[in-house]
A and B are shown apart, each in its own frame.
Chain A
Protein backbone atom coordinates (compact mmCIF):
# COMPACT_ATOMS: atom_id res chain seq x y z
CA UNK A 1 0.00 0.00 0.00
CA UNK A 2 2.62 2.50 -1.08
CA UNK A 3 4.34 4.94 1.23
CA UNK A 4 1.63 4.98 3.84
CA UNK A 5 2.61 1.55 5.11
CA UNK A 6 6.04 2.81 5.98
CA UNK A 7 4.90 4.98 8.88
CA UNK A 8 4.10 3.11 12.07
CA UNK A 9 0.42 2.21 12.12
CA UNK A 10 -1.97 2.71 14.98
CA UNK A 11 -4.78 0.70 13.42
CA UNK A 12 -4.41 -2.29 11.14
CA UNK A 13 -7.36 -4.18 9.71
CA UNK A 14 -6.39 -7.41 8.02
CA UNK A 15 -8.58 -9.71 5.91
CA UNK A 16 -11.67 -8.91 7.92
CA UNK A 17 -15.00 -10.53 7.13
CA UNK A 18 -18.19 -9.72 8.99
CA UNK A 19 -21.89 -10.48 8.59
CA UNK A 20 -25.18 -10.39 10.47
CA UNK A 21 -26.95 -13.75 10.26
CA UNK A 22 -26.73 -14.75 6.58
CA UNK A 23 -26.02 -11.26 5.24
CA UNK A 24 -22.37 -10.52 4.60
CA UNK A 25 -21.58 -6.87 5.36
CA UNK A 26 -17.80 -6.70 5.09
CA UNK A 27 -15.75 -8.79 2.70
CA UNK A 28 -12.00 -9.06 3.04
CA UNK A 29 -11.31 -5.58 4.36
CA UNK A 30 -7.70 -4.47 4.58
CA UNK A 31 -6.72 -1.04 5.75
CA UNK A 32 -4.17 0.74 7.89
CA UNK A 33 -4.29 4.02 9.76
CA UNK A 34 -0.85 5.50 10.40
CA UNK A 35 -0.16 7.33 13.63
CA UNK A 36 -0.95 11.02 13.64
CA UNK A 37 -2.98 10.97 10.43
CA UNK A 38 -6.62 11.67 9.71
CA UNK A 39 -8.02 8.92 7.53
CA UNK A 40 -11.47 8.91 5.96
CA UNK A 41 -13.55 5.85 5.26
CA UNK A 42 -16.04 6.91 2.63
CA UNK A 43 -18.83 5.17 0.84
CA UNK A 44 -22.56 5.06 0.30
CA UNK A 45 -24.98 4.63 3.17
CA UNK A 46 -25.19 1.01 4.16
CA UNK A 47 -21.84 -0.05 2.71
CA UNK A 48 -20.55 -1.16 6.11
CA UNK A 49 -18.56 1.92 7.20
CA UNK A 50 -20.13 2.24 10.63
CA UNK A 51 -19.87 -1.52 11.14
CA UNK A 52 -16.16 -1.25 10.47
CA UNK A 53 -15.86 1.48 13.08
CA UNK A 54 -17.66 -0.68 15.63
CA UNK A 55 -15.31 -3.54 14.83
CA UNK A 56 -12.30 -1.32 15.48
CA UNK A 57 -13.85 -0.21 18.77
CA UNK A 58 -14.40 -3.82 19.76
CA UNK A 59 -18.20 -3.45 19.97
CA UNK A 60 -18.49 -6.17 17.32
CA UNK A 61 -16.28 -9.17 16.62
CA UNK A 62 -15.30 -10.07 13.04
CA UNK A 63 -16.15 -13.50 11.63
CA UNK A 64 -12.64 -13.81 10.24
CA UNK A 65 -9.51 -11.69 10.17
CA UNK A 66 -7.69 -9.52 12.63
CA UNK A 67 -8.01 -5.94 13.87
CA UNK A 68 -5.03 -4.45 15.66
CA UNK A 69 -5.04 -1.19 17.56
CA UNK A 70 -1.71 -0.06 18.97
CA UNK A 71 -0.35 -3.53 18.27
CA UNK A 72 -3.06 -5.35 20.21
CA UNK A 73 -5.55 -7.64 18.52
CA UNK A 74 -8.89 -6.07 19.46
CA UNK A 75 -11.00 -9.10 18.61
CA UNK A 76 -8.99 -11.39 20.88
CA UNK A 77 -8.79 -9.19 23.98
CA UNK A 78 -10.35 -10.24 27.28
CA UNK A 79 -13.19 -8.03 28.48
CA UNK A 80 -11.10 -6.03 30.96
CA UNK A 81 -8.30 -5.53 28.45
CA UNK A 82 -10.82 -4.27 25.93
CA UNK A 83 -12.18 -1.80 28.49
CA UNK A 84 -8.64 -0.59 29.20
CA UNK A 85 -8.05 -0.09 25.48
CA UNK A 86 -11.34 1.75 25.04
CA UNK A 87 -10.27 4.32 27.59
CA UNK A 88 -7.68 5.36 25.05
CA UNK A 89 -10.23 5.65 22.27
CA UNK A 90 -12.75 8.39 21.69
CA UNK A 91 -15.79 8.06 19.51
CA UNK A 92 -18.12 10.72 18.21
CA UNK A 93 -21.49 9.24 17.36
CA UNK A 94 -23.60 10.27 14.42
CA UNK A 95 -25.94 12.54 16.36
CA UNK A 96 -23.67 13.11 19.33
CA UNK A 97 -25.38 10.65 21.69
CA UNK A 98 -25.08 13.07 24.58
CA UNK A 99 -26.52 11.83 27.87
CA UNK A 100 -29.80 13.71 27.90
CA UNK A 101 -30.13 13.71 31.68
CA UNK A 102 -26.85 15.59 32.24
CA UNK A 103 -25.67 19.11 31.44
CA UNK A 104 -22.98 19.71 28.83
CA UNK A 105 -20.44 20.04 31.62
CA UNK A 106 -21.43 16.75 33.26
CA UNK A 107 -21.33 15.02 29.89
CA UNK A 108 -17.73 16.12 29.41
CA UNK A 109 -16.82 15.30 33.00
CA UNK A 110 -18.49 11.87 32.78
CA UNK A 111 -15.44 9.84 31.83
CA UNK A 112 -13.17 11.73 34.18
CA UNK A 113 -15.49 10.90 37.07
CA UNK A 114 -15.91 7.29 35.96
CA UNK A 115 -12.30 6.46 35.24
CA UNK A 116 -10.10 8.75 37.29
CA UNK A 117 -9.77 9.71 40.92
CA UNK A 118 -9.21 13.37 40.13
CA UNK A 119 -10.60 15.88 42.56
CA UNK A 120 -13.77 17.71 41.61
CA UNK A 121 -12.04 21.13 41.24
CA UNK A 122 -9.49 19.57 38.87
CA UNK A 123 -12.24 17.83 36.88
CA UNK A 124 -14.02 21.16 36.63
CA UNK A 125 -10.96 22.83 35.14
CA UNK A 126 -10.26 19.97 32.75
CA UNK A 127 -13.86 19.82 31.54
CA UNK A 128 -13.90 23.58 31.00
CA UNK A 129 -10.64 23.27 29.04
CA UNK A 130 -12.24 20.70 26.77
CA UNK A 131 -15.36 22.80 26.33
CA UNK A 132 -13.19 25.82 25.58
CA UNK A 133 -11.43 23.80 22.87
CA UNK A 134 -14.75 23.37 21.05
CA UNK A 135 -15.82 26.94 21.82
CA UNK A 136 -18.65 26.06 24.18
CA UNK A 137 -17.35 26.89 27.65
CA UNK A 138 -20.27 29.33 27.86
CA UNK A 139 -22.74 26.48 27.31
CA UNK A 140 -21.40 24.34 30.16
CA UNK A 141 -24.61 24.53 32.18
CA UNK A 142 -27.02 23.95 29.30
CA UNK A 143 -28.83 20.65 28.97
CA UNK A 144 -28.55 18.74 25.66
CA UNK A 145 -32.16 19.64 24.82
CA UNK A 146 -31.17 23.32 24.90
CA UNK A 147 -28.34 22.90 22.38
CA UNK A 148 -28.61 23.19 18.61
CA UNK A 149 -27.57 20.18 16.52
CA UNK A 150 -24.16 21.66 15.78
CA UNK A 151 -23.54 22.61 19.41
CA UNK A 152 -24.56 19.16 20.60
CA UNK A 153 -22.08 17.64 18.19
CA UNK A 154 -19.34 19.90 19.54
CA UNK A 155 -20.14 19.05 23.17
CA UNK A 156 -20.04 15.38 22.20
CA UNK A 157 -16.68 16.02 20.60
CA UNK A 158 -15.43 17.63 23.82
CA UNK A 159 -16.72 14.61 25.72
CA UNK A 160 -14.95 12.15 23.44
CA UNK A 161 -11.59 13.89 23.90
CA UNK A 162 -12.06 14.12 27.67
CA UNK A 163 -9.32 11.62 28.45
CA UNK A 164 -7.02 12.67 25.58
CA UNK A 165 -7.51 9.53 23.47
CA UNK A 166 -4.82 8.22 21.18
CA UNK A 167 -7.43 7.22 18.59
CA UNK A 168 -10.47 9.29 17.66
CA UNK A 169 -13.29 7.78 15.64
CA UNK A 170 -15.96 9.89 14.03
CA UNK A 171 -19.16 8.28 12.81
CA UNK A 172 -20.72 10.55 10.18
CA UNK A 173 -19.73 13.74 12.00
CA UNK A 174 -21.21 16.04 9.33
CA UNK A 175 -24.69 14.56 9.00
CA UNK A 176 -27.51 17.07 9.36
CA UNK A 177 -25.35 20.11 10.12
CA UNK A 178 -25.69 23.61 8.65
CA UNK A 179 -22.73 24.84 6.57
CA UNK A 180 -21.19 26.85 9.43
CA UNK A 181 -21.40 24.03 11.99
CA UNK A 182 -20.14 21.65 9.34
CA UNK A 183 -17.08 23.81 8.74
CA UNK A 184 -16.50 24.17 12.48
CA UNK A 185 -16.64 20.43 13.09
CA UNK A 186 -14.34 19.76 10.14
CA UNK A 187 -11.82 22.26 11.43
CA UNK A 188 -12.04 20.88 14.97
CA UNK A 189 -11.40 17.33 13.80
CA UNK A 190 -8.19 18.42 12.12
CA UNK A 191 -7.07 20.78 14.88
CA UNK A 192 -7.76 18.43 17.76
CA UNK A 193 -6.03 15.59 15.96
CA UNK A 194 -2.90 17.61 15.45
CA UNK A 195 -2.82 19.32 18.84
CA UNK A 196 -3.56 16.16 20.84
CA UNK A 197 -1.13 14.11 18.78
CA UNK A 198 -3.98 11.70 18.15
CA UNK A 199 -4.93 9.61 15.15
CA UNK A 200 -8.36 9.93 13.61
CA UNK A 201 -10.71 7.84 11.53
CA UNK A 202 -13.59 9.73 9.95
CA UNK A 203 -16.44 7.70 8.54
CA UNK A 204 -18.44 9.88 6.19
CA UNK A 205 -20.22 10.26 2.92
CA UNK A 206 -19.70 13.99 2.86
CA UNK A 207 -17.19 14.12 0.03
CA UNK A 208 -16.39 17.82 -0.25
CA UNK A 209 -15.75 18.31 3.46
CA UNK A 210 -13.79 15.08 3.88
CA UNK A 211 -11.48 15.60 0.91
CA UNK A 212 -10.48 19.01 2.28
CA UNK A 213 -9.77 17.62 5.69
CA UNK A 214 -8.12 14.24 5.60
CA UNK A 215 -4.72 12.81 4.70
CA UNK A 216 -5.88 9.58 3.16
CA UNK A 217 -9.12 8.04 1.91
CA UNK A 218 -10.49 4.52 1.80
CA UNK A 219 -13.50 4.24 -0.49
CA UNK A 220 -15.83 1.36 0.25
CA UNK A 221 -18.65 -0.06 -1.82
CA UNK A 222 -20.76 -3.14 -1.12
CA UNK A 223 -18.60 -4.21 1.80
CA UNK A 224 -15.26 -3.98 0.01
CA UNK A 225 -12.49 -1.42 -0.17
CA UNK A 226 -12.71 -0.36 -3.82
CA UNK A 227 -10.09 2.34 -3.83
CA UNK A 228 -7.65 4.06 -1.52
CA UNK A 229 -5.41 7.03 -1.95
CA UNK A 230 -4.77 10.64 -1.06
CA UNK A 231 -7.58 13.17 -1.65
CA UNK A 232 -5.88 14.30 -4.87
CA UNK A 233 -5.75 10.71 -6.10
CA UNK A 234 -9.42 10.25 -5.26
CA UNK A 235 -10.40 13.33 -7.25
CA UNK A 236 -8.41 12.10 -10.23
CA UNK A 237 -9.50 8.49 -9.97
CA UNK A 238 -10.96 6.84 -13.05
CA UNK A 239 -13.01 4.25 -11.18
CA UNK A 240 -16.59 4.86 -12.41
CA UNK A 241 -18.38 4.17 -9.12
CA UNK A 242 -15.95 6.44 -7.25
CA UNK A 243 -16.40 9.19 -9.85
CA UNK A 244 -20.13 8.94 -9.47
CA UNK A 245 -19.76 9.14 -5.68
CA UNK A 246 -17.30 12.04 -5.66
CA UNK A 247 -19.20 14.14 -8.17
CA UNK A 248 -22.65 13.18 -6.96
CA UNK A 249 -24.02 11.93 -10.28
CA UNK A 250 -27.55 10.57 -9.90
CA UNK A 251 -27.14 7.63 -12.25
CA UNK A 252 -24.16 5.45 -13.06
CA UNK A 253 -22.73 2.19 -11.73
CA UNK A 254 -24.93 2.80 -8.70
CA UNK A 255 -28.34 2.85 -10.43
CA UNK A 256 -31.00 5.44 -9.69
CA UNK A 257 -33.71 2.79 -9.79
CA UNK A 258 -34.05 0.04 -7.26
CA UNK A 259 -34.29 -3.28 -9.16
CA UNK A 260 -37.88 -3.74 -10.35
CA UNK A 261 -39.81 -5.56 -13.11
CA UNK A 262 -39.84 -3.88 -16.50
CA UNK A 263 -41.69 -0.55 -16.22
CA UNK A 264 -44.17 -0.96 -19.08
CA UNK A 265 -45.04 -4.51 -18.08
CA UNK A 266 -45.55 -3.44 -14.47
CA UNK A 267 -47.96 -0.65 -15.47
CA UNK A 268 -49.94 -2.77 -17.91
CA UNK A 269 -50.17 -5.82 -15.69
CA UNK A 270 -53.66 -5.97 -14.23
Chain B
Protein backbone atom coordinates (compact mmCIF):
# COMPACT_ATOMS: atom_id res chain seq x y z
CA UNK B 1 0.00 0.00 0.00
CA UNK B 2 2.75 2.44 0.92
CA UNK B 3 4.44 1.79 -2.42
CA UNK B 4 1.28 2.70 -4.26
CA UNK B 5 0.90 5.78 -2.11
CA UNK B 6 4.52 6.73 -2.87
CA UNK B 7 3.94 6.19 -6.54
CA UNK B 8 0.83 8.36 -6.48
CA UNK B 9 2.69 11.01 -4.56
CA UNK B 10 5.58 11.00 -7.04
CA UNK B 11 3.14 11.18 -9.93
CA UNK B 12 1.30 14.08 -8.32
CA UNK B 13 4.54 15.93 -7.65
CA UNK B 14 5.59 15.41 -11.24
CA UNK B 15 2.33 16.75 -12.60
CA UNK B 16 2.35 19.74 -10.29
CA UNK B 17 6.03 20.59 -10.85
CA UNK B 18 6.29 19.82 -14.56
CA UNK B 19 2.93 20.94 -15.79
CA UNK B 20 0.91 23.15 -13.50
CA UNK B 21 3.92 25.07 -12.21
CA UNK B 22 5.28 25.66 -15.69
CA UNK B 23 1.86 26.54 -17.05
CA UNK B 24 1.58 29.21 -14.36
CA UNK B 25 4.97 30.62 -15.30
CA UNK B 26 4.09 30.50 -18.98
CA UNK B 27 0.86 32.44 -18.35
CA UNK B 28 2.69 35.06 -16.34
CA UNK B 29 5.28 35.27 -19.09
CA UNK B 30 2.57 35.79 -21.72
CA UNK B 31 1.08 38.55 -19.60
CA UNK B 32 4.47 40.28 -19.33
CA UNK B 33 4.97 39.92 -23.07
CA UNK B 34 1.58 41.49 -23.80
CA UNK B 35 2.26 44.28 -21.31
CA UNK B 36 5.57 45.09 -22.96
CA UNK B 37 4.12 44.90 -26.46
CA UNK B 38 3.23 48.60 -26.57
CA UNK B 39 6.82 49.87 -26.55
CA UNK B 40 7.81 47.16 -28.97
CA UNK B 41 5.00 48.14 -31.38
CA UNK B 42 6.18 51.72 -31.33
CA UNK B 43 9.40 50.47 -32.86
CA UNK B 44 7.76 48.28 -35.40
CA UNK B 45 10.94 47.75 -37.44
CA UNK B 46 12.03 45.25 -34.76
CA UNK B 47 8.91 43.18 -35.40
CA UNK B 48 9.26 43.53 -39.18
CA UNK B 49 12.77 42.12 -38.95
CA UNK B 50 11.43 39.11 -37.06
CA UNK B 51 8.56 38.71 -39.54
CA UNK B 52 11.26 38.32 -42.16
CA UNK B 53 12.99 35.56 -40.20
CA UNK B 54 9.88 33.73 -39.04
CA UNK B 55 7.55 34.39 -41.98
CA UNK B 56 9.42 35.17 -45.16
CA UNK B 57 12.05 32.50 -44.64
CA UNK B 58 9.29 29.93 -44.03
CA UNK B 59 7.71 30.72 -47.40
CA UNK B 60 9.50 28.07 -49.44
CA UNK B 61 8.56 25.15 -47.20
CA UNK B 62 5.00 26.44 -46.84
CA UNK B 63 4.46 26.98 -50.56
CA UNK B 64 6.00 23.69 -51.67
CA UNK B 65 4.15 21.71 -49.00
CA UNK B 66 0.90 23.49 -49.90
CA UNK B 67 1.34 22.58 -53.54
CA UNK B 68 1.95 18.91 -52.80
CA UNK B 69 -0.85 18.61 -50.27
CA UNK B 70 -3.21 20.17 -52.83
CA UNK B 71 -2.04 17.78 -55.53
CA UNK B 72 -2.55 14.77 -53.28
CA UNK B 73 -6.00 16.06 -52.34
CA UNK B 74 -6.77 16.39 -56.06
CA UNK B 75 -5.84 12.78 -56.72
CA UNK B 76 -7.49 11.29 -53.65
CA UNK B 77 -10.55 13.48 -53.95
CA UNK B 78 -11.06 12.61 -57.60
CA UNK B 79 -10.66 8.92 -56.86
CA UNK B 80 -13.45 9.06 -54.30
CA UNK B 81 -15.77 11.53 -56.02
CA UNK B 82 -15.71 9.76 -59.36
CA UNK B 83 -17.28 6.68 -57.70
CA UNK B 84 -20.35 8.80 -56.96
CA UNK B 85 -20.28 10.51 -60.31
CA UNK B 86 -19.59 13.93 -58.87
CA UNK B 87 -16.03 14.55 -59.91
CA UNK B 88 -16.83 18.16 -60.80
CA UNK B 89 -17.20 18.81 -57.05
CA UNK B 90 -13.45 18.32 -56.77
CA UNK B 91 -12.86 22.07 -56.47
CA UNK B 92 -15.19 22.28 -53.49
CA UNK B 93 -13.55 19.34 -51.76
CA UNK B 94 -10.04 20.62 -52.27
CA UNK B 95 -10.73 24.17 -51.20
CA UNK B 96 -12.92 23.32 -48.19
CA UNK B 97 -10.43 20.77 -46.86
CA UNK B 98 -7.63 23.28 -47.19
CA UNK B 99 -9.36 26.37 -45.89
CA UNK B 100 -11.07 24.72 -42.96
CA UNK B 101 -8.49 22.18 -41.82
CA UNK B 102 -5.35 21.41 -43.71
CA UNK B 103 -4.27 24.98 -44.38
CA UNK B 104 -4.20 26.17 -40.77
CA UNK B 105 -3.16 22.83 -39.27
CA UNK B 106 -0.42 21.75 -41.66
CA UNK B 107 0.90 25.29 -42.05
CA UNK B 108 0.86 25.56 -38.25
CA UNK B 109 2.79 22.32 -37.83
CA UNK B 110 5.33 23.38 -40.44
CA UNK B 111 5.61 26.81 -38.88
CA UNK B 112 6.28 25.26 -35.45
CA UNK B 113 9.04 23.13 -36.93
CA UNK B 114 10.60 25.79 -39.11
CA UNK B 115 10.14 29.05 -37.17
CA UNK B 116 9.13 28.00 -33.64
CA UNK B 117 12.21 25.87 -33.13
CA UNK B 118 14.43 28.64 -34.53
CA UNK B 119 12.92 31.21 -32.16
CA UNK B 120 13.41 28.92 -29.15
CA UNK B 121 17.00 28.12 -30.09
CA UNK B 122 17.83 31.77 -30.70
CA UNK B 123 16.30 33.09 -27.47
CA UNK B 124 17.73 30.14 -25.50
CA UNK B 125 21.22 30.73 -26.86
CA UNK B 126 20.93 34.45 -26.19
CA UNK B 127 20.19 33.53 -22.60
CA UNK B 128 22.97 30.94 -22.42
CA UNK B 129 25.54 33.42 -23.75
CA UNK B 130 24.37 36.06 -21.25
CA UNK B 131 23.07 38.38 -23.96
CA UNK B 132 19.78 38.71 -22.12
CA UNK B 133 21.54 39.45 -18.82
CA UNK B 134 23.71 41.99 -20.61
CA UNK B 135 20.61 43.66 -21.97
CA UNK B 136 19.08 43.77 -18.50
CA UNK B 137 22.25 45.34 -17.13
CA UNK B 138 21.98 47.99 -19.84
CA UNK B 139 18.54 48.84 -18.49
CA UNK B 140 16.80 47.38 -21.54
CA UNK B 141 14.03 44.90 -20.86
CA UNK B 142 14.68 41.73 -22.88
CA UNK B 143 10.97 40.92 -22.91
CA UNK B 144 10.23 44.19 -24.70
CA UNK B 145 13.30 44.10 -26.94
CA UNK B 146 13.71 40.39 -27.76
CA UNK B 147 10.57 38.46 -26.79
CA UNK B 148 7.67 40.71 -27.81
CA UNK B 149 8.85 41.34 -31.41
CA UNK B 150 9.36 37.60 -31.97
CA UNK B 151 6.00 36.76 -30.44
CA UNK B 152 4.09 39.24 -32.59
CA UNK B 153 6.06 38.31 -35.70
CA UNK B 154 4.80 34.74 -35.24
CA UNK B 155 1.23 35.84 -34.57
CA UNK B 156 1.21 38.04 -37.69
CA UNK B 157 3.01 35.59 -39.98
CA UNK B 158 0.99 32.51 -39.19
CA UNK B 159 -2.41 33.48 -40.76
CA UNK B 160 -0.63 34.82 -43.84
CA UNK B 161 1.37 31.62 -44.23
CA UNK B 162 -1.76 29.50 -43.75
CA UNK B 163 -3.57 31.55 -46.41
CA UNK B 164 -0.69 31.10 -48.85
CA UNK B 165 -0.59 27.39 -48.03
CA UNK B 166 -4.30 27.07 -48.88
CA UNK B 167 -3.94 29.12 -52.07
CA UNK B 168 -1.06 26.97 -53.24
CA UNK B 169 -3.04 23.86 -52.29
CA UNK B 170 -6.03 24.94 -54.37
CA UNK B 171 -3.66 25.58 -57.25
CA UNK B 172 -2.15 22.09 -56.74
CA UNK B 173 -5.61 20.56 -56.76
CA UNK B 174 -6.39 22.45 -59.96
CA UNK B 175 -3.19 21.24 -61.61
CA UNK B 176 -3.92 17.61 -60.87
CA UNK B 177 -7.72 17.69 -61.18
CA UNK B 178 -8.17 19.90 -64.22
CA UNK B 179 -4.87 19.84 -66.10
CA UNK B 180 -3.84 16.25 -65.45
CA UNK B 181 -7.07 14.27 -64.99
CA UNK B 182 -9.33 16.48 -67.04
CA UNK B 183 -12.11 17.54 -64.68
CA UNK B 184 -14.14 20.32 -66.27
CA UNK B 185 -12.44 23.61 -65.49
CA UNK B 186 -15.63 25.64 -65.39
CA UNK B 187 -17.36 23.42 -62.86
CA UNK B 188 -14.16 23.09 -60.80
CA UNK B 189 -14.06 26.84 -60.18
CA UNK B 190 -17.78 27.68 -60.25
CA UNK B 191 -18.74 24.96 -57.78
CA UNK B 192 -15.95 26.09 -55.51
CA UNK B 193 -17.16 29.68 -55.77
CA UNK B 194 -20.73 28.69 -54.98
CA UNK B 195 -20.00 26.34 -52.08
CA UNK B 196 -17.31 28.17 -50.15
CA UNK B 197 -18.73 30.65 -47.68
CA UNK B 198 -16.57 33.57 -46.65
CA UNK B 199 -17.59 33.69 -43.00
CA UNK B 200 -18.16 30.00 -42.35
CA UNK B 201 -15.15 28.64 -44.17
CA UNK B 202 -12.52 31.27 -44.91
CA UNK B 203 -12.90 33.43 -41.83
CA UNK B 204 -13.04 30.43 -39.50
CA UNK B 205 -9.88 29.10 -41.10
CA UNK B 206 -8.18 32.45 -40.57
CA UNK B 207 -9.29 32.48 -36.92
CA UNK B 208 -7.84 29.00 -36.49
CA UNK B 209 -4.50 29.96 -37.98
CA UNK B 210 -4.41 33.09 -35.83
CA UNK B 211 -4.99 31.01 -32.68
CA UNK B 212 -2.30 28.53 -33.77
CA UNK B 213 0.03 31.46 -34.38
CA UNK B 214 -0.48 32.68 -30.82
CA UNK B 215 0.02 29.16 -29.41
CA UNK B 216 3.20 28.39 -31.38
CA UNK B 217 4.78 31.80 -30.79
CA UNK B 218 3.94 31.75 -27.10
CA UNK B 219 5.39 28.27 -26.62
CA UNK B 220 8.48 29.12 -28.69
CA UNK B 221 9.44 32.32 -26.84
CA UNK B 222 8.60 30.85 -23.45
CA UNK B 223 10.64 27.68 -23.97
CA UNK B 224 13.58 29.76 -25.19
CA UNK B 225 13.40 32.20 -22.31
CA UNK B 226 12.97 29.42 -19.77
CA UNK B 227 15.66 27.12 -21.22
CA UNK B 228 18.48 26.12 -18.85
CA UNK B 229 21.54 28.06 -20.06
CA UNK B 230 23.43 25.04 -21.35
CA UNK B 231 23.78 23.26 -24.70
CA UNK B 232 21.65 20.43 -23.38
CA UNK B 233 19.07 22.86 -22.01
CA UNK B 234 18.65 24.69 -25.31
CA UNK B 235 18.38 21.49 -27.35
CA UNK B 236 15.79 20.14 -24.91
CA UNK B 237 13.81 23.37 -25.11
CA UNK B 238 13.85 23.30 -28.92
CA UNK B 239 12.49 19.75 -28.93
CA UNK B 240 9.83 20.71 -26.39
CA UNK B 241 8.74 23.62 -28.56
CA UNK B 242 8.13 21.36 -31.54
CA UNK B 243 6.40 18.63 -29.53
CA UNK B 244 4.27 20.90 -27.36
CA UNK B 245 3.21 23.23 -30.14
CA UNK B 246 2.33 20.33 -32.46
CA UNK B 247 0.14 18.81 -29.77
CA UNK B 248 -1.32 22.21 -28.94
CA UNK B 249 -2.22 22.80 -32.60
CA UNK B 250 -3.97 19.45 -32.93
CA UNK B 251 -5.83 19.80 -29.64
CA UNK B 252 -6.84 23.40 -30.34
CA UNK B 253 -7.94 22.41 -33.82
CA UNK B 254 -10.35 19.89 -32.38
CA UNK B 255 -11.77 22.39 -29.90
CA UNK B 256 -12.11 25.15 -32.49
CA UNK B 257 -13.67 22.83 -35.06
CA UNK B 258 -16.18 21.63 -32.49
CA UNK B 259 -17.07 25.24 -31.65
CA UNK B 260 -17.21 26.54 -35.22
CA UNK B 261 -18.84 23.87 -37.28
CA UNK B 262 -21.38 22.31 -34.94
CA UNK B 263 -24.93 21.90 -36.09
CA UNK B 264 -24.08 21.89 -39.77
| A86/B129 in contact, CB under 8 A | no
Give the distance in Å from the alpha carbon of A219 to the alpha carbon of B125 in the complex.
33
| B138/A86 in contact, CB under 8 A | yes
Tell me the smallest distance from the CB of A164 to a CB of chain B, in Å: 13
Tell me the smallest distance from the CB of A55 to a CB of chain B, in Å: 13
A95 within 8 A of B: yes
**Which residues of A from 60 to 87 have beta carbons under 8 Å from B?**
83-84, 86-87
Tell me the smallest distance from the CB of B262 to a CB of chain A, in Å: 46
| A93/B134 in contact, CB under 8 A | yes
| A91/B129 in contact, CB under 8 A | no
B139 within 8 A of A: yes
List of A residues within 8 angstroms of B130 by Cβ: 93-95, 97
State how many residues of chain B have any CB contact under 8 Å with chain A. 14
A264 within 8 A of B: no
**Which residues of B from 116 to 162 have beta carbons under 8 Å from A?**
125-126, 129-131, 133-140, 145
Q: Report the number of A-B residue pairs with Cβ-Cβ less than 8 Å.
A: 45
List of A residues within 8 angstroms of B134 by Cβ: 91, 93, 97, 99
A89 within 8 A of B: yes
List of B residues within 8 angstroms of A114 by Cβ: 138-140, 145
A227 within 8 A of B: no
Tell me the smallest distance from the CB of B45 to a CB of chain A, in Å: 11
List of A residues within 8 angstroms of B129 by Cβ: 95, 97, 100
List of A residues within 8 angstroms of B139 by Cβ: 83-84, 86-87, 114-115
| B137/A57 in contact, CB under 8 A | yes
Q: Say whether chain B's binding surface is mostly helix, strand, loop, or mixed.
A: helix
A111 within 8 A of B: yes
List of A residues within 8 angstroms of B131 by Cβ: 97-100
List of A residues within 8 angstroms of B145 by Cβ: 114
Give the distance in Å from the alpha carbon of A95 to the alpha carbon of B136 in the complex.
16
| B136/A59 in contact, CB under 8 A | yes
> What residue in chain B is nearest A93 (Cβ atoms)?
B130
> What residue in chain B is nearest A171 (Cβ atoms)?
B130
| B138/A59 in contact, CB under 8 A | no
Give the distance in Å from the alpha carbon of A59 to the alpha carbon of B132 in the complex.
12
Give the distance in Å from the alpha carbon of A98 to the alpha carbon of B129 in the complex.
8
Chain A, residues 91-127, CB within 8 Å of chain B (1/0): the string is 1011101111000000000110011000000000000
List of B residues within 8 angstroms of A97 by Cβ: 129-131, 133-134
List of B residues within 8 angstroms of A98 by Cβ: 131
Say whether, besides A97-B131, A99-B131, A100-B131, A91 and B140 are in contact (CB < 8 Å).
no
Give the distance in Å from the alpha carbon of A16 to the alpha carbon of B243 in the complex.
44
| B138/A110 in contact, CB under 8 A | yes
Give the distance in Å from the alpha carbon of A87 to the alpha carbon of B141 in the complex.
12
Among B129, B134, B138, B145, the most chain A Cβ lie within 10 Å of the Cβ of B138
| A59/B140 in contact, CB under 8 A | no
> What residue in chain A is nearest B130 (Cβ atoms)?
A97
Give the distance in Å from the alpha carbon of A179 to the alpha carbon of B142 in the complex.
34
Give the distance in Å from the alpha carbon of A140 to the alpha carbon of B137 in the complex.
23
> What residue in chain A is nearest B138 (Cβ atoms)?
A111
List of B residues within 8 angstroms of A111 by Cβ: 138, 140
> What residue in chain A is nearest B140 (Cβ atoms)?
A114
Q: Using a CB–CB distance below 8 Å, which chain B residues touch chain A?
A: 125-126, 129-131, 133-140, 145
Given contacts A87-B138, A93-B133, A99-B126, 11 further A-B contacts (CB under 8 A): A59-B136, A93-B130, A97-B129, A97-B131, A99-B131, A99-B135, A100-B131, A110-B138, A114-B139, A115-B139, A115-B140
Would you list 30 pairs from A and B whose C-beta atoms are within 8 A, ordered by A residue?
A: A57-B137, A59-B133, A59-B137, A83-B139, A84-B139, A86-B136, A86-B137, A86-B138, A86-B139, A87-B138, A89-B137, A91-B134, A93-B133, A94-B130, A95-B129, A97-B129, A97-B134, A99-B126, A99-B131, A99-B135, A100-B126, A100-B129, A100-B131, A110-B138, A110-B140, A111-B138, A114-B139, A114-B140, A114-B145, A115-B140
Q: Using a CB–CB distance below 8 Å, which chain A residues touch chain B?
A: 57, 59, 83-84, 86-87, 89, 91, 93-95, 97-100, 110-111, 114-115
Nearest 8 pairs of A and B residues by beta carbon: A97-B130, A97-B134, A86-B139, A83-B139, A91-B137, A93-B130, A87-B139, A114-B140
